[in-house]
Amino acid sequence: MIRILIADDEKPARDKLARSLGEHADTQVVGLCCSGAEAARDIAQARPDVAFLDIQMPEMTGLEVAAQLEVEDAPLIVFVTAFDEHAVRAFELNAVDYLLKPYDRERLAQALDRVRGRLHDKAARRGAVATARSQVGCPERLLVPEGQALRLIDTSLIESLEADDNYVHVRTRGKTYLLRRTLQDLLLQLGEQQFVRIHKSAAVNLSAVQSFTPLFKGDYDVKLVSGHELRMSRRFKDALFARLGR
């Protein structure tokens, strides 16, 4: 069975897609979401094989949802869009499936055929996330867990990112969130304009750096505006100092 999650802020559109998918014996709808944040939460919890994401949703678009996903854990993604054919070509070139509204049963069947052929294709999963990130650019908001829910925080408020195995501690001045991501993938999503790595397991927001204290063997202690301190490895100091104009 192909486990499918549907995200669309319009209930008639969600219901139509669920009914149409139900006509295929090898599909099972495991989630119906009315917002991007809800979709991101349910993707993390239900771990579907495929997510049908409407691009135009309030608060958080389907592209933003896809851009937030961990590359290695992402489901296959079928974007549902009302964009014109010229915009859709960008998805086609990156091997991303899409449904152009209004679609018919035949077009949906074609999309499912492509999904069946890519269920075990990790490159297709990476391609969908990469395409979404290229469309979204450096995000101004990051989706983080808070209890049983998810919330969006401004990336400008993040002071540091600290790796802990396959998790990252996302630290702001007042709170720390534990995000199930790798540091490398999170930095790829956030871009290099705002954040810089200071250690193999840590990165900082450039605007949060307050001072440095030299340590032994070329390492430094980096103090952030909140007072939090992190060790900077000597292999990363030249890049950080260059970014700060030192």
Q: Does a structural domain hold residue 167?
A: yes
Q: Does a structural domain hold residue 100?
A: yes
Q: Does a structural domain hold residue 78?
A: yes
What sign does the dihedral 197-134-145-49 (CA atoms) show?
A: negative
Q: Looking at the 3D structure of the chain, how many domains does it have?
A: 2
Contact (CB, 8 A) for 71 and 125: yes
Domain containing residue 91: CATH number: 3.40.50.2300
* Residue type at position 169: H
Note whether 165 and 124 are same-domain residues: no
pLDDT digits (tens, 9 = 90+) for 123-180: 877 877 887 888 787 888 898 988 877 888 999 999 999 999 889 999 998 899 999 8
pLDDT digits (tens, 9 = 90+) for 58-117: 888 888 898 888 887 889 999 888 776 655 665 665 546 788 888 899 999 999 998 998
Q: Does a structural domain hold residue 184?
A: yes
Task: Fill in the DSSP letter of residue 155.
Answer: G
What pLDDT score was predicted for residue 225? 93
Note whether 51 and 167 are same-domain residues: no
pLDDT digits (tens, 9 = 90+) for 86-102: 556 656 655 467 888 88
89-109 core/surface letters (b: 16 or more CB in 10 A; e: else): eebeebbbbbbbeebeeeebe
Contact (CB, 8 A) for 60 and 136: no
Interval 196-207 mean pLDDT: 94
Domain containing residue 221: CATH number: 2.40.50.1020
Rounded-to-integer distance, Cα 117 and Cα 245, Å: 50
Q: In terms of Cα–Cα distance, which of 73, 70, 69, 39 is closest to 53?
A: 39
H-type helices in 23-158, by residue range?
A: 36-46, 62-68, 85-93, 105-118, 122-136
Q: In terms of Cα–Cα distance, which of 98, 125, 95 is closest to 111?
A: 98
* Domain of 189, in residue numbers: 155-243
Is the pTM higher than 0.85? The answer reads no
